[in-house]
């Protein structure tokens, strides 16, 4: 029986947002899926060396990375920040396309629609009843009792405090792990909302500088320096009206991180 290599399964983010894609590591798609015409469609490539190998397709005279995701071809864009390819819903290629990217045959579609065989049911392990301990260990006291006896480090109302009068707990630093980027951004924005009245956060310039301190590690150092340098150049450029209080600085910073 011939084994058909299926497409990569990826849950794309809604509202046409970027989604990181881990491309396949080797050329393992059937020829008719890669191409519907000789000399056209997708070709496996290991170039350039500083990016993961992937399928490439000639699009308007330029070789662009593509991947067969959820049984559909998608155009990819490489992100230096994440060190990986990304795609969006809008980058989906139709089944009938001018680039001659192929698709499954009708027979393969029927095979893939069949349910997989059920795995054998393992035997149930014998039930061993343990006698109760002679001296059971009592459960630990609740956290409220521990805080009451130790005094804790909470501020008024029990809210943990940061240095400089900032409320709450600072987000876990982002080290470049793309699987943690969405959670990090959520924690960062939550912390900003919590301290929206603080002088450090009210000014967009100082807010961005604070957020940049939350990026740690060699994999993000160059990106952090670039974001800071670009912001400084824009503020010193006398041809625009940007100031340290301009909200456009904050919007640009969030767009750059995305």
Whether the CB-CB separation of 195 and 167 falls below 8 Å is answered with yes
pLDDT higher than 50, residue 150: no
| Inter-residue contact 196 to 202 (CB < 8 Å) | yes
Tokens matching residue 192: 């900003």
Q: Is the pLDDT of residue 141 over 70?
A: no
Domain extents in the chain: 19-112, 164-257
How would residue 152 be classed by pLDDT, with cut points 50, 70 and 90?
very low
Model pTM above 0.95? no
Q: Residue 106: which pLDDT band, with cuts at 50, 70 and 90?
A: confident
Map tokens 């943990």 to a residue: 160
Q: Are 8 and 68 in contact (CB under 8 A)?
A: yes
Show the DSSP H helices in the chain as ranges: 31-34, 106-113, 143-150, 181-194, 199-202, 204-212, 218-236, 247-257
Q: Give 151's strand partners.
A: none
Q: What is the DSSP string of 49-61?
A: TTS--EEEEEETT
d(CA 250, CA 205): 8
Nearest CA-CA partner of 19 in 58, 69, 61: 69
Residue with tokens 């590591």, as numbered in its chain: 25
Q: How high is the pLDDT of residue 258?
A: 80
Distance (Å) of CA 129 to CA 25, 183, 195: 49, 43, 54
| 27's tokens | 């050329």
Average pLDDT for the chain:
83
Query: Are 12 and 89 spatial neighbours (Cβ–Cβ below 8 Å)?
Result: yes
Task: Please state, in angstroms and rounded to a whole number, the distance separating the CA atoms of residues 166 and 33.
Answer: 55
Rounded Cα distance between 224 and 171, Å, is 17
In what side-by-side order are the strands of the sheet with 54-59? 42-45, 54-59, 62-69, 72-75
**pLDDT, tens digit (0-9, with 9 covering 90-100), for 52-90:** 999 999 988 899 999 999 999 999 999 988 889 999 999
- Between 120 and 229, the more confident residue is 229
Q: What is the Cα–Cα distance from 111 to 2, expressed in whole angstroms?
A: 11
pLDDT category, 120, cuts 50, 70, 90? Answer: confident
pLDDT tens profile 168-219: 898 999 999 989 999 999 999 999 999 999 999 999 999 999 999 999 999 9
Q: Which two tokens stand for residue 220?
A: 């993000």
Q: What is the percent of the chain with per-residue pLDDT over 70, rounded to a whole number?
A: 81
Task: For residue 224, give the 3-state DSSP assignment.
Answer: helix
Average pLDDT (83-111) is 86
């Amino acid at each position: 029986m011939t084994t058909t290599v299926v497409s990569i399964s990826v849950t794309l983010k809604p509202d046409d947002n970027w989604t990181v894609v881990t491309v396949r590591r080797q050329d393992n798609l059937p020829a008719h899926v890669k191409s519907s015409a000789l000399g056209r469609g997708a070709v496996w490539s290991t170039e350039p060396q500083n990016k993961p190998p992937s399928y490439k397709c000639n699009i308007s005279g330029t070789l662009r990375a593509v991947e067969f995701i959820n049984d559909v071809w998608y155009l990819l864009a490489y992100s230096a920040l994440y060190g990986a390819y990304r795609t969006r819903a809008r980058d989906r290629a139709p089944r009938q396309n001018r680039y001659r990217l192929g698709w499954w045959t009708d027979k393969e579609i029927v095979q893939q629609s069949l349910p997989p065989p059920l795995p054998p049911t393992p035997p149930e392990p014998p039930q061993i009843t343990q006698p109760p301990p002679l001296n059971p260990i009592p459960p630990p006291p609740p956290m409220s009792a521990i805080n009451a006896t130790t005094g804790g480090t909470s501020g008024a109302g029990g809210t943990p405090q940061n240095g400089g009068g900032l409320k709450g707990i600072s987000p876990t630093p982002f080290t470049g792990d793309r699987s943690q980027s969405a959670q990090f951004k959520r924690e960062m924005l939550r912390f900003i909302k919590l301290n929206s009245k603080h002088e450090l956060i009210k000014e967009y310039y100082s807010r961005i500088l604070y957020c940049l301190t939350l990026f740690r590690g060699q994999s993000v150092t160059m990106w952090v320096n670039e974001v800071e340098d670009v912001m400084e150049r824009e503020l010193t450029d006398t041809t625009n009206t940007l100031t340290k209080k301009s909200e456009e600085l904050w919007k640009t910073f969030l767009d750059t991180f995305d």
